[in-house]
Amino acid sequence: MKRLFNILVFFVLSVSVLGQPDTRVVDSLQAVMAKQEGKERVETMMELSRSFFDLSFDDCIWWGEKAIEEASRFGEDELVAKAYWKIGLRYLNHYEFDLALDSFDQALEILNDAGVCELLMDVLNYKGRTELLMGELDAAMSTYQRTLEVSEILGDALNCADVINNMAYIYFQQNEFDKSFDCFIDARHRYIQLSDTLSAAQCDNNISNIYVQRQQYDQAHSVLKKAIPLFEQYEDEASLAHAYQNLGTVFATGRVNLDSALYYLHKSIVCAENMGDQITLIEDEIELANVLKLLNREDEALNLYQSALHSSEAIGHASGILESYKNLGVYYNEKGDFTTSAVYLRRCMDLASEKGNLLYVNVVRPYLIADYARLGELLEMKKELGLMIDNYEGILNENNALGEELTKLREHTNGLLDQYESQSAQIESLQSQRNQYRLAFFGLLALVIAAIAAFVLWIIVGKNQDKNAEE
């Protein structure tokens, strides 16, 4: 299931923060601007851009571009960069990720020659945020590494902690759970040193996802129940939405109390709606569908999966698209519609591979292998099976005995495939015999695949248990 995280570089604008549009503010700013020159005039234009966000997004962007034009006319490079950054924020809050990224890059072109400054750190923060939302994990990691360097030079301890928290999220998506956990713990320690109890609690919220991944549901429940009262005290709806969603996941997967799961997911939805947070609403929609499927309300679940996919595609939210593809694939797999299942799972695999998101690759591949086996697409099945085994060889080769067993399994599977291909060619004309052989073959093949999957799962779980014991 998709995990929600507190990413501590939040949107600086949101519909909920801006409140109701006020044309009087716009009129007042325009009157002030008419009397201004130079830097002050540019600053007022940027404020006008912000004020138009709820009134007219086109006017919002127009005033942002006018600010860039005016700042360029005066030769104020840093002010031009600031204007590009501000317009990038407008695009980001409007889910125009490509345009936001382009604006941030324009700002960085100017700032890269200006030396280290606070504006450089701010632009890098939001560029990393944008890349995360686009699912560009490698690019986001590179951006955050540079952001961390700049933050350290500036002595901004709080931003250092925020960046490390965000890097932990990337490691999670890359299937590097130990690195993710270590980064979350590091960020948490930094927040405690800064007496930032709210951010430390947000880190605890994130750590709960690692506990869920490790199937340590009691620990996940414990940290969430401690964090939630603090979020309520600070009226932090963004963190509450994440915590309620994570708690719903704990009850759906670990503690198996589906009524409680529904209760907390609906609370998360209320928070997200109050904020006008479309991304969190998509995540909640997916998690709610997962619970409804467990309750055998399959038609409702399917509608929510499809709705989440449509919404995710509309704004280019990569994680939402991946999660929707995965869940739709699994849904149709369990329904016995292996053709439709393979279509969605293939899309998920291709996008996850493109984005470097190993979390989805590892979850989806066994289902895709099973689909190909059922459909008789042997070459595709053999290819994915080999990739799955290769992916875990680093773990398996730590133990010689396991490595030898892996080799035997690989050879056995390849032998079965070669045998099928050889005999299939010989009996092509004997359709009934061929069909009987296919049934026998796929039955045996299913057992082999199940053995491999169980074998790999046993190794991974055992490895995690050993590490947990060490901790």
Helices (H), 194-337: 197-213, 217-233, 237-253, 258-275, 278-294, 298-315, 318-335
Which pLDDT tens digit goes with each residue over 335-393? 999 999 999 999 999 999 998 888 888 889 888 888 888 888 878 887 887 777 776 65
d(Cα 131, Cα 285) in Å, to the nearest integer? 23
Which pLDDT tens digit goes with each residue over 195-206? 999 999 999 999
What pLDDT score does 440 carry? Answer: 53
Which pLDDT tens digit goes with each residue over 9-68? 433 333 333 344 467 777 787 777 777 777 888 888 888 888 888 778 888 888 888 888
Q: Is the pLDDT of residue 436 over 70?
A: no
Length in residues, the chain: 471
What pLDDT score does 136 carry? Answer: 94
Closest CA to 362 of 290, 261, 221, 459: 459
What pLDDT score does 335 carry? Answer: 92
User: Could you tell me the CATH superfamily of domain 168-267?
Assistant: Tetratricopeptide repeat domain (1.25.40.10)
What pLDDT score does 5 carry? Answer: 54
Instruction: Please tell me the pTM assigned to this model.
Output: 0.78
Which pLDDT tens digit goes with each residue over 75-107? 788 889 998 999 999 999 889 999 999 999 999
What pLDDT score does 330 carry? Answer: 94
What pLDDT score does 446 carry? Answer: 53
Q: Which CATH class is domain 277-375?
A: mainly alpha
Which pLDDT tens digit goes with each residue over 167-192? 999 999 888 999 999 999 999 999 99
What pLDDT score does 46 carry? Answer: 83
Contact criterion met (CB below 8 Å) for 288 and 263:
no
Sequence letter at residue 280 = T
Sequence letter at residue 52 = F
What pLDDT score does 11 carry? Answer: 34
SS3 353: helix
Burial of 125 from C-beta contacts in 10 A (0-12 / 13-18 / 19+): buried
Per-residue confidence band for 413, with pLDDT thresholds at 50, 70 and 90: low
Q: DSSP code of 369? A: H
Which pLDDT tens digit goes with each residue over 119-176? 999 999 999 999 999 999 999 999 999 999 999 999 999 999 999 999 999 999 888 9
Q: Specify the range with the lowest mean pLDDT, choosing from 46-60, 101-115, 216-230.
A: 46-60
Contact criterion met (CB below 8 Å) for 134 and 101:
yes
d(Cα 298, Cα 303) in Å, to the nearest integer? 9
Distances (CA, A) of 446 to 225, 344, 450: 42, 21, 6
Instruction: Compare 458 and 284 and report the one with higher pLDDT.
Output: 284
d(Cα 328, Cα 293) in Å, to the nearest integer? 11
d(Cα 220, Cα 3) in Å, to the nearest integer? 12
What mean pLDDT is predicted for residues 433-446? 52
Contact criterion met (CB below 8 Å) for 84 and 104:
yes
Q: Is the pLDDT of residue 414 over 90?
A: no
Q: Specify the range with the lowest mean pLDDT, choosing from 44-53, 133-142, 215-224, 311-320.
A: 44-53
Residues 6+ positions from 423 with CB-CB distance below 8 Å: 437
Q: Can you say how many angstroms the Cα of residue 264 is from the centroid of all Cα atoms in its chain?
A: 21
Domain residue ranges of the chain, discontinuous segments joined by +: 1-155, 168-267, 277-375, 380-471
Burial of 360 from C-beta contacts in 10 A (0-12 / 13-18 / 19+): buried
Q: Is the pLDDT of residue 427 over 50?
A: no
Domains 168-267 and 277-375 belong to one CATH topology? yes
Instruction: Compare 47 and 327 and report the one with higher pLDDT.
Output: 327
What pLDDT score does 416 carry? Answer: 54
Looking at the structure, give the CATH architecture of the domain made up of residues 1-155.
Alpha Horseshoe (1.25)
Burial of 30 from C-beta contacts in 10 A (0-12 / 13-18 / 19+): middle
Sequence letter at residue 157 = A
Closest CA to 30 of 16, 51, 11: 51
Which pLDDT tens digit goes with each residue over 455-466? 555 555 455 555
User: What's the maximum distance between 2 C-alpha atoms anywhere in the chain?
Assistant: 91
